[in-house]
Chain A
Amino acid sequence: MEFLIFLQKYRVGIVLGLTLAISAVWVPGFVSLTTFSLGFDRGSTVGLVAIGLTVLLIAGKIDLSVGSVFALSGIVAIMLQPALGLWPAAVVGVLAGAACGAFNGLLSVVFKVNSLVATLATMLIFRSIAHWLTDSQPMAGTDIMFSVRLAQIYFDLFTLRSALFLFSILLLHIWLSRTVSGRNLFAVGSNPVAAEASGISADRIAFLGFVFASAMAGVAGVLQSLAANTGSPVFGSEMTVAVIAAVVVGGTRIEGGRGSALGTLGGVLTIAALTTAMEFQSVPAYVQRVVAGLILILLVLFDRTVPTNRRTNSAVTAAE
């Protein structure tokens, strides 16, 4: 039992370790600095969005519209480049993302629409605005050389994007585990009524959670558009599922009240490592999907069936 609980607690780390170990043995050329830095860079786009979603899931809400926000923010950032210049346009792009989040929050918190349905609706709305703005054509930015610079690898390890991702995870970790507002977030997610009773404004936290999630999707979208020098209405259409999978593999519960920054880091890295390793071996995409799906289901199954001695707030969620 002790052993199982140990497994349970560190399952993300274990799966990540196993993935890396197996890949290192079986996949020629996997263990190299280039693989690491590029794999990390690929994970960081999903990772930045995952950070936002981790917070929102802990607060007990979900956001299906992140993929559309990702595309929309990128388009805004590219579109305004000629008028505002590169950096101000990027900032406006992120703000546009945050505004989408405020709209989600409005629907979910003020009008009390279930977050799954509300963001399903806004997923359609934001995506159609993206098509509208661009007339369904990909839109080119002004400075392609900037994109090439953005893709550069520093110290053989980091791209600008992966460094930003790592830094954000660190901040998130500190926020969630060391601050009062971080703890309040868990309280709201596991039992909003009790949280309200103890003087925490559940609504305000949920609203800010939506804004944060969309702002992070905006950051990722703007970075992606800058890196590709393109704002495209079809970007991010496959993203939402990948992000939710990464966050859940990382041990965050979709019912709220539980999750961690390091878990999300583990989830993102596991999926990135797994995909890279399988692509190295030319494993067909459909087999990759089976493996990814199995890992997702098995980890969640494990989470459900092995009893834990965790903080009580998870017990409250389980009763729900």
Chain B
Amino acid sequence: MLVYGTLSSPVFLTTGNFVNVFTSMAIVGIVVVGMTFVLVVGGLADLSVPATIACGAILSLALQPAIGPVPAFLVAVALAGGCGLISGLLVGYIGINPIIATLGVGTIVLGIVESLVGGVIVYGTDPATAELVKSRVFGIPVVVLIFAAIACVGHFILSHTYLGRWTFATGGNYSAAEASAVPVRAIKAGAFVMTGLCAGLSGGLLGLTLQSARPLIGTGYEFSAITAVVVGGVSIMGGAGSIPRAIAALIFVQFLTNIMVLQGVRTPVQGFVLGLLIAVAVALDVALRRRSVA
């Protein structure tokens, strides 16, 4: 695909374009890291992402005048993690279906955050923070570096620690994991906390970049994240997957969109191609897995 991109568009293979694609990707990429945990642990999907992103963005701007930019940012991310904790408790300990739990918690959280600020748009008061987020180190935008750091940490946890092994065990075979003394409930809840934190972080970054935040700021990110994770071969039934694969898929999807835009493909068609891509990728995955079992 990269070859096609290079051949078909002279600007495709330029540093500028690559930086472009990665910057656009960073915000959703951070969410993808968290979402991978949720899918691997067998938690289907976290639909509260738009709410937790909005929570991160709105609070990190709204609290700035009162407690300063850095504490505001930390409080916003922590509260987003708190939302994840509530979803996690409902799913892990009480056994409510994740779709319903995250949908409900998301609705409530977004409503509360909106009432806190009176249901209007929040503007930033400290332009220096925007400069910081938009600045570059060695020509690489800071958000991309943050994303890379989060991805590395996430990958390390999932692939090289007990926590990660337990996550796979819980998602792969819940009762077997429980029998071998894996704290399945806590692990399941933890995945949602992780997504909450990630989404809060990416919301905070988004808010600082734009210097304004509205309640609908996170709309659509949940589906973009799920798309990347699923196309990356992470089974929605849990127990399999890895963060590098999810991110590779995200990069693939981003470049695909990028090439379509460079080719002047209209927006509706892009949705069509993306939908088809998800369906085909997953159907292939299922077919291949069935064959290898047989």
Contacts and interface: CB of A to CB of B under 8 A. Distances in A.
Chains A and B touch (C-beta atoms under 8 A apart): yes
Interface in B103-145: 103-108, 110-112, 114-115, 119
A184 interface: no
Contact of A121 (B90, B97, B106, B275): B275
B270 interface: yes
B290 interface: yes
Contacts of A301: 90, 94, 96
A248 interface: yes
A114 B282 contact: yes
Interface string A238-259: 0001001100100001110000
A200 interface: no
A112 interface: yes
A213 to B, nearest CB: 16
Given A289-B107, A296-B104, A129 B283 contact: no
A275 to B, nearest CB: 13
Contacts of B97: 253-255, 300
Contacts, number: 136
A61 interface: no
**Which of A123, A128, A253, A255 has the largest count of B CB atoms less than 10 A from its CB?**
A128
Nearest to A318: B95
Q: At the interface, is chain B mostly helix, strand, loop or mixed?
A: helix
A297 B95 contact: no
B101 A297 contact: yes
A286 B214 CA distance: 12
B119 A289 contact: no
A129 B133 CA distance: 38
A128 B272 contact: yes
A282 to B, nearest CB: 13
Q: Place the interface of chain A in its size category.
A: 35 or more
A69 B268 CA distance: 15
B276 A121 contact: yes
Q: At the interface, is chain A mostly helix, strand, loop or mixed?
A: helix
Interface residues of B, number: 46
A216 to B, nearest CB: 20
Nearest to B274: A124
A29 interface: no
B275 A123 contact: yes
A316 interface: no
Contacts of A284: 115, 119
A281 to B, nearest CB: 15
Nearest to B226: A120
B111 A290 contact: yes
B100 interface: yes
Contacts of A125: 271-272, 275-276, 279
Contacts of B272: 124-125, 128-129, 132
Interface of A: 62, 107, 111-114, 116-118, 120-125, 127-129, 131-132, 136, 241, 244-245, 248, 253-255, 284-290, 292-294, 296-297, 300-301, 304-305, 318
Interface of B: 44-45, 90, 94-97, 99-101, 103-108, 110-112, 114-115, 119, 215, 223, 226-227, 230, 236-237, 267-272, 274-279, 282-283, 286-287, 290
